[in-house]
A and B are shown apart, each in its own frame.
Chain A
Amino acid sequence: MVNAKPKVRIEHLIKIYGEKPRAALQLFREGKSRDAILQVTGHVLGIADVSFTVNQGEVFVVMGLSGSGKSTLIRCINRLIKPTSGHIYIDDEDIALINEERMREIRLTKVSMVFQHFGLFPHKTVVENVAYGLKIRGVEKKQRSQKALETLEVVGLTQWAGYLPASLSGGMQQRVGLARALATDAEILLMDEPFSALDPLIRREMQEELLRLQKKLHKTIIFISHDIQESVKLGSRIAVMKDGYIVQIATPEELITNPADNYIRAFIQDVNRAQVLKTGSIARQIITFTVEEDSPQTALEKMLYQNLKQIYVVRQGFPVGVVSRETLAAAIPEGREDITQLMQADFPQVNADTTLENIFHLYQQELPIAVVDESGKFKGVVEQSDVFASISSLT
């Protein structure tokens, strides 16, 4: 992310369920475990000192098994649940301190929410559901219906506007839920396991849809999931929760290549690594033939020394061709030293953020693939053997 501007910042958030959380909080600060606190005070430790920052335009996934505190965490952000201690900053405003009136304003304008079981109003039509936030904000009926219909169009449900939610399928109902959250133009979207209640096929469809929408809308999304596949697919970063703690916060790739503990290892077992790992992260830095500096002789020497079969030719940082050791070895005695004549200008090249599953077809020529960064500059190479090694490696 170029503009990594913090949108939501959570500092030392603690939530303890129960009537008298003070004593429990004291025990927690003394370092007592969740179970010990439950036994002594009968209070449940929902969130145990959690801190993280979500940047503008990011999809931040919170993942964990059921009961790990995900729903509690996301509900603290719009204060459906009141935190016991700690700070939650939305655009530098501490949600934990403001009064109810201001909180309502924030819910009306800045933060909206999508629910696991959709949370639609069963007695209101689809269009009334979508317009609900605007109605509460006091927008005139005509205007809010107009806006609701526009939003329904975004999720492809215009023709269902007049129906009650019960007459729609699960996937369609959640599209309504999504539209309702989008209709208020809130910048922050809280999504509590929005696709968990859907069939696998529909779930995948909805994930694609969310990614498609996010490309256009650039919302700041906090997305709860208990599904690692979903998390790595959607998340720009993932926070893994366990018993109210955050175990690790990492990009999907970091999580898979460098899991913090066995809890996360157990999670990532099922992940198709080729779908997650990016060429950039396994690209090997390797010596190149720099047109401006190197002569064929020095290049050949380096190749012999490092036992390379071919070398990429780079001009001003950009890869322009590839040349094999045999070609160089044959050409030098004949005095043909113009590298642009010797090199092969047709070579496989991918961006650093391409996932491994999308590069297999490029290995037809037995050449290592050149990996370039966003500006097209050479970053390194990925050989077929590297790909296999990283996909199968047991961490």
Chain B
Amino acid sequence: MASSLGGADKLLNPFKIYSLPVESWINHTIFFLVDRLRPFFQAIRFPFSLVLDGIEWVFLAIPPLILLPIIGLVVWQLAGRRIAIFSIVALIVLGFLGVWQETMMTLSFMGTAVLFCILIGIPIGIACASNYRIDRVVQPILDFMQTLPLFIYLVPIVMLFGIGKVPGVIATLIVAIPPLIRLTTLGIRQVSKEVVEAAIAFGSTKRQVLWEVQIPLAMRTILAGLNQTIMAALSMTVIASMIAVEGLGMMVLRGTASLNIGQASIGGLGIALLAIMLDRITQAIGQGNHQVSWQERGPIGFILSKVKNKKAASTYSGS
């Protein structure tokens, strides 16, 4: 019976007769790219590895007892005292858990990825806001980047760039950059048309309109985008460790693979603490009280007010 139906079976299922050789097309393309463009991709590596090494060197070379107060002061200035205290405590906890070095590696890896997200994403976002044609090209690409499963582009990235931190950063970039681009575009579009008109009517160049009006007024939205970007980047740490990126993510990966739940948990806790810390910091910057200028808050404000008081006191006692 089965054999008598063989012909009909073939007729009813044409897919058995022919399928598009897309698989080999893609393979050929990738191999071709890897072959011919290796110097090009090596050149792309260069700025990434330069920044990565620089940041990592700073985080790892400075001893914790000096780095901690520096981080504390910077966070205090940017985000306020409460978040600064939280950050310090979180980092001290991680230090005593014995993962200081891993934390610093993850932090510098993140820092590099986010820095490139900013350098690339904000200009693209601005371009999209001011030019509908660019926007129409970029939007579908962003959709694509956000919906495509990670592993699909992890492989070609590894083929093109090899393994290690640079391809890790690039993979992270692809996941993390879309929200920043989208929200930059949104923020700039949201600026009142009349306010932009006013800036032009008083003789501003395009660049002046951008820096004097559009970017300051879009800043809140851009920072909301940055917050999302950082969170997305952090979510990549474990996956990036699959292509040999060291740090907290690697602990989770190794721990899980070797059923060392303790190691995996500590790595996970570290990532969670970093996530909370960075989330709070960027949110606080975004919602920052714009009535108070940077000279009046944080450690700088603290010192300036002390100096002023002293001056006032000395003039008072002098007179």
Contact = CB atoms under 8 A, between A and B. Distances in A.
B202 A122 contact: no
A121 B216 CA distance: 10
Contacts of B289: none
A111 B213 CA distance: 20
B202 A115 contact: no
Given A123-B216, A123-B217, A136-B208, A180 B202 contact: yes
Interface residues of B, number: 19
B200 A80 contact: yes
Contacts of A117: 192, 194
B217 A132 contact: no
A107 B201 CA distance: 6
Contacts of B192: 117, 119
A184 B290 CA distance: 28
Nearest to A183: B202
B197 interface: yes
Interface residues of A, number: 27
A105 interface: yes
B42 interface: no
Interface in B169-221: 192, 194-195, 197-205, 208, 212-213, 216-217
Contacts of A180: 202
Given A121-B213, A122-B217, A123-B290, A108 B202 contact: yes
Contacts of A112: 201-202
A123 B217 CA distance: 7
B203 A108 contact: yes
Interface string B254-270: 00000000000000000
B201 A78 contact: yes
Contacts of B290: 123
B204 A115 contact: no
Contacts of B203: 104-105, 107-108, 133, 136-137
Interface in A126-175: 132-133, 136-137, 164
Nearest to B204: A136
A133 B197 contact: no
B30 to A, nearest CB: 40
A121 B199 contact: yes
B165 to A, nearest CB: 39
Nearest to B191: A122
B201 A113 contact: yes
B202 A116 contact: no
Contacts of A119: 192, 194-195, 197-198
Contacts of B202: 107-108, 112-113, 132-133, 136, 180, 184
Interface in A175-201: 180, 184, 190
28 contacts: A75-B197, A78-B201, A104-B203, A104-B204, A107-B202, A107-B203, A108-B202, A108-B203, A111-B201, A113-B197, A113-B201, A113-B202, A115-B197, A119-B198, A120-B198, A121-B195, A121-B198, A121-B199, A121-B212, A122-B217, A132-B199, A133-B202, A136-B204, A136-B208, A136-B212, A137-B203, A164-B291, A184-B202
Interface of A: 75, 78, 80, 104-105, 107-108, 111-113, 115-123, 132-133, 136-137, 164, 180, 184, 190
A-B pairs, 9 with minimum CB distance: A119-B198, A108-B203, A107-B203, A133-B202, A119-B194, A113-B201, A136-B203, A123-B216, A104-B203
